[in-house]
Amino acid sequence: MGRPQDPVNTPMKIPFVDLQGQYRAIADEVRAAIEPVMANTRFILGEEVRLFEQEFAAFCGARHCVGVASGTDALHLALRALDIGPGDEVITQTNSYIATALAISYAGATPVFVDCDPKTCQIDVKQAEAVVTPRTKALLPVHLYGQPADMDAVQAIAKRHGLRVIEDACQAHGATYRGRPVGTFGDAAAFSFYPGKNLGAYGDGGAITTNDPALDTRLRAYRDYGQREKYFHDFKGFNSRLDTIQAAILRVKLKRLAAWNQSRQRAAATYSKVLSRIGIEPPRQVSHGTHIWHLYVIQVANRAVVQKRLGDAGVSTGIHYPVPIHLQKAYADLGRLRGSFPIAEAAADRILSLPMFPEITDEQVNHVASELAKAL
């Protein structure tokens, strides 16, 4: 193979996320964790699930954690276990991943969308209160991109109107609000362990955290065909369990999550410093919160051109998300037309997610910034 390539002539390729780099760093430990599960064959609700649930509850400062099959299921089962269903309305933001709304639909309830704050993209709490009706049962704020929603305001609205609160924490493992981790501000919180999330499994996975022991008991039955004990079914539950193998992997990764989040914070600080220098406004951070940078999202005019030029220069980017949920065909039945939520609609055309993962180096961040300056 001869001499190493001349770095001057090799364009630096920067992935959007780098799961392979992370795997190389922990491969031995992951294999050692999986091996006993293969040998003891307790693939469903084995010991590692119970241990991971305890450890993740402790990480979030929550009393209980119930492992399920995905983040979407975590939201869906939390709504079900809180008795939210047909005829009920659940208020959430239109600028989220569609799973937030789908979970409400799966429960048989109706999602009621609101707009977002133009700077932070977090749920517009004033609008959320304005759309409360006698049918409203719950608020479902999303800790979008890795920073917390305005939970003081959310909790105050819930209290005034007697509503439940379910946190969509699928992008916010370890983010804090007023010094406390997300996951305990609502009646329940949903986490996703989709591979690309800050805590990702090697497949699908999710969890619900709660401080309510009765809800914990109901959720354990809900994920397991509604059974109270084997073959005794009190209600029509679901098959939605976190695999033992995934729990074993997640236990290895959870030990590193705080350090990985810190690495993301360091990378974000570097991004924000160099982007300011080239005249790009860094993402606005909420007050009273820590951002764990699941995504580093800037806003640019001419997004399509900028994204194409970055791609041609070897820099992979993403858009989270190009179409607000109320404008998705899947939700055309709700009849919310373009213009209903102008802030989220305008943001959808301008947002651009830059490469972000714990292993990203300062050199890579600087390179993204200089390619971005050129692309603009």
Ligand X SMILES: *Cc1c(COP(=O)(O)O)cnc(C)c1O
The stretch near ligand X (CB under 6 A) out of 68-76, 126-134, 209-217, 253-261 is 68-76
Of 53, 168, 224, 243, the residue at the interface with ligand X (CB under 6 A) is: 168
Of 82, 166, 170, 245, the residue at the interface with ligand X (CB under 6 A) is: 170
- State the DSSP string of 234-256: SS---B---BHHHHHHHHHHHHH
Q: Is residue 307 near ligand X by the rule CB under 6 A?
A: no
The residue among 320 and 367 lying less far from ligand X, judged by its C-beta, is 320
- 352-368 as b/e: b if 16+ CB within 10 A: bbbbbbbbbeeebbebb
State the Cα–Cα distance between residues 13 and 10, nearest whole angstrom.
Answer: 9
Binding mask 183-222 for ligand X (x = CB under 6 A): ---------x-x---------x-x----------------
Q: State the CB neighbour count (10 A cutoff) for residue 277.
A: 10
Can you give the length of the chain in residues?
376
For residue 166, the minimal CB distance to ligand X (Å) is: 11
Residue pair 372/352 in contact (Cβ under 8 Å)? The answer is no
The residue among 145 and 260 lying less far from ligand X, judged by its C-beta, is 145
Of 65, 66, 72, 372, the residue at the interface with ligand X (CB under 6 A) is: 72
For residue 171, the minimal CB distance to ligand X (Å) is: 5
Of 109, 112, 114, 142, the residue at the interface with ligand X (CB under 6 A) is: 142
For residue 306, the minimal CB distance to ligand X (Å) is: 23
Q: Is residue 95 near ligand X by the rule CB under 6 A?
A: no
Of 147, 171, 210, 272, the residue at the interface with ligand X (CB under 6 A) is: 171
Which stretches of the chain are assigned E, i.e. beta strand? Answer: 64-68, 89-93, 110-114, 136-140, 164-168, 176-177, 180-181, 188-192, 206-210, 227-229, 232-233, 289-290, 296-299, 351-354
